[in-house]
C-alpha cells in the first residue's frame, strides 16, 4: 500500500514538468532509464568485458561529458577510461612496424649458419666464413660476420683452438688399423688366442690367426700371411696401433713397416688408447663367445671367420651411419617400403645370429 502511494505521488510530480517541457523531459527520462539500467547491470555482472570498439566509443564520448560526472555515467573507473585513451594515442603514434633507417637485421637462420661454420671449421676466420656465405649466394658484409662471432664469444680471427679429438681422429681414421689379442677358454679349459685386426675408417675386421701359444715368431708370421692374402688396399694405411705385449716383437713391426705403416705403441696399462680394438673384442664376447662353447682351435677359427663375415657384410655399425662396412663402401641402399616387400630371415652359427634380407 505504501509503495503504490509513493509510486502515484512520484508519477504525478514528474508529470507536471512534462507538460511544460515535454521534449527536454523525455530525453532526461530516457537518460534516467538508461542510467538505472546501468546500475542494475552493475549489480548483476561483477565485471564487464569491453571489446576494443566499445573502449574506443566510450573514450570518444568522454570528451563531451564533464569529468566529475564520469563516475555516474560510465560503468568503469575514470582511471580505466584514461588508460584506454592513452592506449589509443600510443597506437596512433606507434612507428615500430615501420622500417627503421640503417641496415636490416640479420636473419636468425643466417646467424645460426655462421656460428655453425665457425664451430665446424676452427681455422676459419670471419673473412673465410664471409666468403663461404657469398659463394652460397647470400649477400652479407664481413663486418656483420665479425659482429655475430664477437657477440657469441667466438674469436673472429682464425686463432681459435684446434680440432677436437673426435674431429682429429675422424680425419685420421681411414689411415689407421689396430691389432689386439682375444683370449678364449675352450670346453676343456685350454686357453686359445686370436689375433684381431680392425680398420678404423671402414670398420672392417680381420682374423690374422688362432693359436694356443702366441709367440713373437708366430705373431710376425701371422702378419706376413695376412699381407700376402689380404684384399685390403694397404697403400691407404699409414698407422698401426698395438699394445706393448711381448708377442709384438721388432719382427712384427718390421713386417708392417715394410708395407709403409708406422707402428704406434699404446702407453702401458692404457686400453682406451686402443679403444676401437677393445670395442670389437667386447662385441665378439657379447654377441658370440658368451653364448657358445668352443671345442678346439679349429672350431674357434671357423666360428670367428663366419662371424667376421657377418660383421663386415651385414651387421650395422653406428660409427658409419648404421650401415655395414660393405654398404658404406658401395653406398647406402635405395629406400624401400617394407610394406610392399618380403623380408627373409637367415640363421647363421646354429641360429645364434639372424640375418635379414629383402626377397628378390
Q: What is the pLDDT of residues 299-343, one digit of tens each?
A: 999 999 999 999 999 888 887 888 888 888 888 888 777 677 787
Residue 133: pLDDT over 90: no
Q: What is residue 62's predicted lDDT score, i.e. its pLDDT?
A: 64
Residues in Cβ contact with 5 at an 8 Å cutoff, skipping those fewer than 6 apart: none
What would the CATH number be for the domain defined by 170-332? 3.30.420.10
Please tell me the pTM assigned to this model.
Answer: 0.57
Q: What is the CA radius of gyration of the chain?
A: 43
Residues in Cβ contact with 358 at an 8 Å cutoff, skipping those fewer than 6 apart: 336, 341, 342, 343, 344
Q: What is residue 306's predicted lDDT score, i.e. its pLDDT?
A: 95
Check residue 21 and report its DSSP letter.
S
Length of the chain: 360
Which bin fits 209, alpha (ψ -120 to 50), beta or left (φ > 0)?
left
What are the boundaries of each domain within the chain? 18-87, 108-151, 170-332
Residue 226's Cβ-side half-sphere holds a number of Cα atoms within 13 Å equal to 24
Kindly state the average pLDDT of the residues 277-305.
92
Residue 9: pLDDT over 60: no
Between 248 and 128, name the one with better pLDDT.
Answer: 248
Round to whole Å and give the CA distance between 357 and 360: 9
pLDDT digits (tens, 9 = 90+) for 34-86: 666 666 666 666 666 666 666 666 666 666 667 666 666 665 666 765 676 67
Q: What is residue 191's predicted lDDT score, i.e. its pLDDT?
A: 93
Amino acid at each position: 500500500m505504501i509503495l503504490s502511494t509513493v509510486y502515484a505521488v512520484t508519477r504525478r510530480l514528474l508529470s507536471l514538468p512534462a507538460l511544460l517541457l515535454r521534449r527536454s523531459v523525455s530525453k532526461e527520462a530516457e537518460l534516467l532509464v538508461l542510467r538505472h539500467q546501468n546500475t542494475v547491470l552493475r549489480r548483476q555482472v561483477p565485471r564487464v568485458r569491453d571489446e576494443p570498439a566499445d573502449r574506443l566509443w566510450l573514450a570518444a564520448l568522454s570528451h563531451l561529458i564533464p569529468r566529475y560526472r564520469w563516475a555516474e555515467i560510465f560503468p568503469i573507473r575514470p582511471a580505466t577510461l584514461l588508460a584506454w585513451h592513452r592506449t589509443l594515442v600510443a597506437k596512433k603514434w606507434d612507428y615500430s612496424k615501420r622500417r627503421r633507417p640503417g641496415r636490416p637485421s640479420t636473419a636468425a637462420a643466417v646467424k645460426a649458419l655462421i656460428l655453425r661454420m665457425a664451430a665446424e671449421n676452427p681455422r676459419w676466420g670471419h673473412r673465410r666464413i664471409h666468403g663461404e656465405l657469398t659463394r652460397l649466394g647470400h649477400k652479407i658484409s664481413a663486418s656483420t660476420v665479425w659482429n655475430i662471432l664477437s657477440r657469441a664469444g667466438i674469436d673472429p680471427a682464425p686463432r681459435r683452438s684446434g680440432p677436437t679429438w673426435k674431429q682429429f681422429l675422424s680425419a685420421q681414421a681411414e689411415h689407421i688399423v689396430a691389432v689386439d689379442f682375444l683370449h678364449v677358454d675352450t670346453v676343456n679349459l685350454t686357453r686359445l688366442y686370436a689375433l684381431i685386426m680392425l680398420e678404423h675408417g671402414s670398420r672392417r675386421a680381420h682374423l690374422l690367426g688362432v693359436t694356443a701359444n702366441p709367440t713373437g715368431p708366430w705373431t710376425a708370421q701371422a702378419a706376413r700371411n695376412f699381407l700376402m692374402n689380404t684384399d685390403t688396399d694397404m697403400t691407404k694405411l699409414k698407422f698401426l696401433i698395438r699394445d706393448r705385449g711381448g708377442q709384438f716383437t721388432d719382427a712384427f713391426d718390421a713386417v708392417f713397416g715394410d708395407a709403409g705403416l708406422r707402428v704406434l705403441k699404446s702407453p702401458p696399462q692404457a686400453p682406451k688408447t686402443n679403444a676401437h680394438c677393445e670395442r670389437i673384442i667386447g662385441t665378439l664376447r657379447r654377441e658370440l663367445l658368451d653364448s657358445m662353447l668352443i671345442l678346439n682351435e679349429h672350431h674357434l677359427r671357423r666360428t670367428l671367420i663366419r662371424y667376421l663375415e657377418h660383421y663386415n657384410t651385414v651387421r650395422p655399425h653406428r660409427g658409419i651411419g648404421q650401415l655395414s662396412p660393405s654398404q658404406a663402401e658401395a653406398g647406402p641402399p635405395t629406400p624401400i617400403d617394407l610394406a610392399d616387400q618380403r623380408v627373409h630371415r637367415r640363421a647363421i652359427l646354429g641360429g645364434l645370429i639372424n640375418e635379414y634380407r629383402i626377397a628378390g
